[in-house]
Chains A and B, each alone.
Chain A
Amino acid sequence: MRPLKALMIILILDILMLVVPFLAGSSITVFHLPLNVFVLWVLYLSVIPTVWILIHKVKT
C-alpha cells in the first residue's frame, strides 16, 4: 500500500472520531452512556487493528 493511501485511512479515522460522535446525538444511551460519548469511547479501540494492518501493508 502506498503511504499516501495509509495517511488517508488514518485521516478518515481521525475525521470519524471528530464527526461521528456529533452525528450520533445523545438521545439514545448505550452502556448507560449517551450514544455520542459511547461512540467516541469505542472508536479508541478501532485504532488498534488499523495500526496493525497498516504497518504490515505500508511500504515506508
Chain B
Amino acid sequence: MNSIIVIVILYLAAMIFIGFLYRNKASKDGENFLVADRSMGPRLGGGALASTYASTSSFLGTLGAMYAFGVAFGLWQNAGVIIGFALATIFIAPKFRSYGALSFSQFFEMRYNKKVRFVSAIVTIVAMFVYILAQLQGGAYAVQYVLGIDYWIGVLVIGAVFITYVVMGGSHSSIMASFIQFIMMAVSMITVAIVVLNAEPWGSSTAQALQNKPLVFDLKGEEGLLYAISCFIMMTLGAMSAPYVYLMYMFSKSNKSAQTTSALATTYLSIFYFVLLIVGVYIIANFPNLDNPDMGYFHTLDLLPTIVAGIFVAAVLAAAMSSTDAMLLNATSAITNDIYSIIAGKHLSSDVVVFVNRIVAVIIGVIAVLVTLNPPDLILLVMALAQSLMIGAFLVPLVLGLWWEKATSQGALAGMIGGFAVTVIAQIVPMPTPFIGGPLGAITSLILMVIISMRDSQNKVGYDSQTINQSQ
C-alpha cells in the first residue's frame, strides 16, 4: 500500500510541475491562457481529448452500470459515445474550429448574436460547475475506498492539485496533464485486461458471471430495452454537446488538426470501451456481492504488480482531473470572456486578462472544492440534469449554426431556451426512462429553431422584395 501511495504522490507532484513548467507560456496573453495559443497538434490532442471525455464516470461508472444493469447496458451506453464522437469528428470539429472562438459561447455570438452567447454562457457555467463537483466527488470516493484516506482529504488534495496546475499553466498545462493522464489510463486499462484474462480462463469468467447474474448477457439489460436504447441516444447526443470537447477543438492549430485530434480520440475511446467488457465480466464473475459496484475495478488491484497498481490508482485520479481541468477552463472563459464582455461592452485589457482569468479560476475551483466537501444529496441527479441541459440547449443551435445557412439568431435563441425548458420539465415529470430529457429537449429545440428561422427567412425575403420595389 505504501508503494501505491508513493506513486500517487509522485503523480500529483508531476501535475504541479507541469503547471510550473508552462506558467510563462500561459502568462503571455488571454489566447495563450485560454486556448493554448491554438498550437495543439493532433498527437497530443487526441490523447488529451480522450482522457478529458473519459472521466471517472466512464472509467468507473461504466463498470458499475455493467454490474447493475448487465454487460449489454454498458455496451449500449458506450456505443452511444463513440457514435457521437464519430459524428462530431466528421461534421463539427473542423467547422467549429474555423470560427476561431476564444470560448465555447463566443461561437454563438460569431454565428448568431450576443443574446444567444449570453444564454449559452450561463448554461455552460452552471453545467461545468456541477460537473466539477461530480468529478471531485468521484475521485475522492475512489481514493477513500482504495487508500482508506478520509473523503475530505481526497477532495482537498485533488482540488488543490488541479486548481494549481490550471491556474499556473492554463490551457497549456491542461493539455499536457491530460495527455499524461491519457497514457496512465491506457496503460492501466490494457494491463488490467491482460492480467484478468491471464488470471482466469475467459470461458470460466463468462460462465461464472452468468451464474451470478442470469441476465448479465441479456441484450435488453436488466431494466429493459427502452432504458438501454434511450441511454444510447442520450450518450450519442451528449458527446456532441459537451463544451469541454469543443475546448479541445479550439486548442487545435488548424481545422484539419481539430478533425484529426477528434478522430484519434474516437479511436482511443473505441478501444478503451472495447477492453472494459473483459474487466467487467471478470468482476461480475468473481465479486458477486459488491456494495458499491462503481468501485469494482479496485478489486483487480491484488492481481497487478505494485507499480502498475500504483499507476492504476493514480489513473483514477487522472480520470477525475483530466476532465475537471477542462471544465474549469470552460467555466472561467465563460465568465471572463463571455459574461464580462457582454455586460461591460468591452474585452479585458491585455495587461490584466491573464491575471483576471487566474483569479476567476481560483474562485470557481475553491467554491467547487468547498461545496464538494459537503456535497448535496442530489448531486448525481443534478449531474444527469446538467448533461441533459447541454443537449437540450446547445446541440441544435450548434449543429444547425454550422450546417444551415438559414438558421437565424431568433431561431437559435428560441431553440436554446425551448430545449432548455423542456429538458428541465422532463426531469420533473415522471418519464419511462431517466435518459429521455436531453433528447426531448433537442427535438423541441429543433422544431422551434426550424420554424422560427424559416419564418425569419420568409420575412426577410418579403422585406427585401418590398425594399427593391420601393426603390424602383
Contacts and interface: CB of A to CB of B under 8 A. Distances in A.
Pair from one complex: yes
B206 interface: yes
Interface stretch (B52-60, B84-92, B369-377): B84-92
Contacts of B82: 44, 47
B217 A41 contact: no
Interface string B60-83: 000000000001100110110011
A8 B320 CA distance: 35
A3 B402 CA distance: 12
A55 B260 contact: yes
B202 A51 contact: no
A14 B217 contact: no
B90 A41 contact: no
Nearest to B95: A60
Given A32-B202, A45-B270, A48-B270, A58 B263 contact: no
B266 interface: yes
B75 A37 contact: yes
A40 B217 CA distance: 11
Residue of B75, B76, B203, B273 with highest tally of chain A CB at under 10 A: B75
Contact of A43 (B79, B94, B205, B271): B79
A51 B75 contact: no
Contacts of B236: 14
B267 A51 contact: yes
Interface in A1-28: 3, 6-7, 10, 13-14, 17-18, 21-22, 26
A13 B85 CA distance: 13
Contacts of B202: 31-32
Contacts of A18: 229, 232
A32 B199 CA distance: 16
Nearest to A36: B219
Nearest to B89: A51
Given A6-B90, A51-B86, A40 B263 contact: no
Nearest to A39: B219
Nearest to B79: A17
A60 B90 contact: yes
Given A14-B83, A17-B83, A37-B71, A51 B90 contact: yes
B203 A41 contact: no
B206 A44 contact: no
Contacts of B85: 51
Contacts of B362: none
A55 B31 CA distance: 28
A55 B90 contact: yes
A26 B277 CA distance: 17
A52 B207 CA distance: 37
Contact of A47 (B259, B266, B277): B266
B463 interface: no
A47 B94 contact: no
Contacts of A6: 90-91
Contacts of B207: 32
Contacts of A51: 85-86, 89-90, 263, 266-267
Contact of A45 (B95, B206, B274): B274
A6 B271 CA distance: 22
A32 B263 contact: no
23 contacts: A10-B83, A10-B87, A10-B90, A13-B86, A17-B83, A22-B219, A26-B219, A31-B202, A36-B219, A37-B217, A37-B219, A41-B277, A43-B79, A44-B82, A44-B273, A50-B86, A51-B89, A52-B263, A52-B267, A54-B86, A55-B260, A60-B90, A60-B94
Interface of A: 3, 6-7, 10, 13-14, 17-18, 21-22, 26, 31-34, 36-37, 40-41, 43-45, 47-48, 50-52, 54-55, 58, 60
Task: In the A-B complex, list the 4 residue pairs whose CB atoms are closest, starting with the nearest.
Answer: A32-B206, A32-B203, A44-B274, A36-B219
